């Protein structure tokens, strides 16, 4: 067995310079960059449990002194092990300050490359709304021993919890009820609630271990003995194998009567109604300004899901083409647009969106809301596009991949006109942001 070389000796006292993507504290040392767990700017202490991966050091931290971010009592008994939340030992205001720091660290990189095409930092809209609500969705796991919980921090070990402050009370009640049931082991659970507390459950992993009759019996029994309103079992592509009760769930955002598309718990849904409302409002205002200039635009929506943006925004377009690669989501989308009497306005298409093979239909505006990994091969799509859309709205739930996509657009002649950063994932290091760009070249 090859002997591992000794790690270099680091100073006994180091100071955290900043926080960066992934929520790590950042240290420059004579031996290289160190990414530090659970450390904040201004903290002074000792690096421990140092490891080297691909030429970069990672370490834990023994803090001796906090200069900038004071600590508060953590309100969760499993936060040191659970991977569900971050930054619980600082105030909510400091949590937002850390998120802003992470965003600007990434943003300054594209600012240096495209200084004439980006916004000044003071023109960025940061965290303008406090949603003051808990998440309506949860993705949980059941291990081989039947324990239900989130994966642990940096591991695949399931961490059980009594009650999670990040989740709506109705979700916590549903999880408590499920713990009393014989939930199949080694499965993934998706829970989704609406505003009045109706909760539906989807099992999305290893569904083929039982036949349909067995699953249906389990669904009916679970529905009878828990507070759940609906239970469904899904194929890997999201298609429903069997179900019991009310498995489709929606709602209304912000009291403005914008209907939230009905969806299954297995499909994507914005976790906070307030975040859904703000994203819709940003896009509506942007589309209204475009309409004032050129009339109602033709819109192509990429990664449309079951229609969370389609339903409240399509009325502002001359035509709306919604494209999504998930067959079950498009099935749900078509049902939603039919119920909303939008069949003449909206076209829904199943198509896997990848820049290597996908050709963008001609349009005035693109609204893209890709998954966390971003828009795959967007640079290749843009290079092939001879006539580029005049406007591009880009919504992202990951700072690194979202700004990477924005940089591709800047590289093809787009200019960044608006940037809104939302605290759509409270009690975590994650955030959502909406970029509005126009093609000026």
User: Each residue of 293-325: pLDDT tens digit?
Assistant: 999 999 999 999 999 999 999 999 999 999 999
Helix (H) or strand (E) holding 411: helix 399-411
Cα separation of 138 and 174, whole Å?
11
Rounded to the nearest 10 degrees, the angle between the axes of helix 399-411 and helix 92-113 is: 30
For residue 184 the two structure tokens come to 């199949």
Residue 172 gets the label, from left (phi > 0), alpha (psi -120 to 50) or beta, of alpha
The two most distant CA atoms of the chain are separated, in Å, by 70
**Strand ranges inside 246-379, DSSP E:** 249-253, 258-263, 298-302, 319-324, 346-350, 365-368
Cα separation of 107 and 118, whole Å?
9
Count the neighbouring beta carbons within 10 Å of the beta carbon of residue 305.
23
127 pLDDT more than 90:
yes
Q: What are the sequence ranges of the domains in the chain?
A: 14-65, 96-130+272-439, 137-253
CATH class of 96-130+272-439: alpha beta
336 pLDDT more than 50:
yes
The CATH superfamily holding the domain 14-65 is Nucleic acid-binding proteins (2.40.50.140)
Architecture of domain 137-253: Beta Barrel (2.40)
* Alpha helix ranges (H) inside 148-251: 169-179, 212-225
DSSP 283: H
DSSP 118: S
258 pLDDT more than 70:
no
For residue 235 the two structure tokens come to 């194929």
Average pLDDT (231-239) is 82
228 pLDDT more than 90:
yes
Write the pLDDT tens digit of every residue in 396-413. Answer: 999 999 999 999 999 999
Residue 93's contacts (CB-CB under 8 Å, 6 or more residues apart) are: none
DSSP letters along 126-155, please?
E--------BSEEEEEE-TT--EEEEBTTS
pTM of the model: 0.94
Tell me whether the CATH fold assigned to 14-65 matches the one assigned to 137-253: yes
Cα separation of 61 and 12, whole Å?
11
């Amino acid at each position: 067995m090859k002997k591992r070389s000794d790690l270099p000796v680091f100073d006994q006292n180091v100071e955290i310079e900043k926080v960066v993507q992934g929520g790590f504290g950042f240290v420059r040392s004579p031996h290289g960059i160190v990414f530090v767990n659970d450390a904040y700017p201004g903290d002074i202490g000792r690096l421990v449990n140092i490891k080297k991966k691909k030429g970069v050091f990672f370490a834990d931290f023994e803090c001796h002194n906090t200069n900038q971010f004071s600590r508060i009592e953590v309100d969760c008994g499993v936060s040191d092990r659970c991977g569900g939340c971050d930054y619980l030992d600082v105030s909510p205001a400091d949590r937002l300050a850390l998120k802003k720091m992470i965003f600007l660290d990434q943003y300054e990189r594209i600012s240096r490359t495209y200084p004439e095409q980006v916004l000044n930092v003071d023109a960025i809209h940061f965290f303008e709304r406090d949603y003051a609500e808990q998440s309506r969705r949860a993705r949980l796991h059941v291990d081989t021993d039947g324990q239900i919980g989130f994966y642990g921090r940096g591991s695949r070990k399931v961490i059980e919890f009594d009650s999670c402050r990040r989740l709506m009370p109705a979700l916590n009640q549903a999880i408590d009820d499920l713990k009393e049931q014989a939930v199949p082991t080694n499965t993934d659970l998706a829970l989704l609630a609406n505003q009045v507390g109706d909760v539906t459950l989807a099992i999305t992993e290893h569904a083929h271990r039982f036949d349909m009759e067995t699953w249906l019996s389990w669904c009916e029994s679970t529905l009878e003995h828990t507070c759940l309103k609906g239970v469904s079992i899904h194929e890997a592509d999201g298609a429903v194998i069997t179900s019991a009760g009310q498995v489709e769930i929606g709602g209304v955002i912000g009291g403005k009567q914008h209907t939230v598309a009905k969806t299954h718990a297995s499909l994507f849904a914005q976790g906070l109604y307030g975040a859904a409302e703000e994203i819709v409002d940003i896009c509506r205002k942007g589309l209204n300004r475009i309409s004032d200039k050129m009339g109602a635009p033709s819109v192509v929506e990429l990664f449309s899901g079951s229609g969370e943006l389609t339903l409240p925004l399509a009325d502002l377009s001359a035509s709306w083409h919604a494209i999504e690669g998930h067959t079950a989501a498009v099935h749900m989308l078509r049902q939603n647009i039919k119920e909303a009497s939008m069949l003449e306005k909206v076209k829904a298409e199943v198509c896997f969106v990848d820049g290597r093979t996908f050709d963008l239909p001609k349009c005035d505006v693109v609204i893209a809301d890709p998954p966390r990994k971003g828009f795959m091969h967007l640079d290749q799509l843009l290079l092939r596009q001879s006539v580029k859309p005049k406007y591009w709205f880009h919504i992202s739930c990951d700072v690194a991949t979202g700004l990477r996509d924005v940089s591709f657009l800047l590289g093809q002649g787009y200019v960044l006109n608006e940037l809104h950063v939302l605290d759509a994932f409270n009690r975590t290091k994650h955030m959502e942001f909406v970029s509005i760009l126009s093609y000026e070249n």
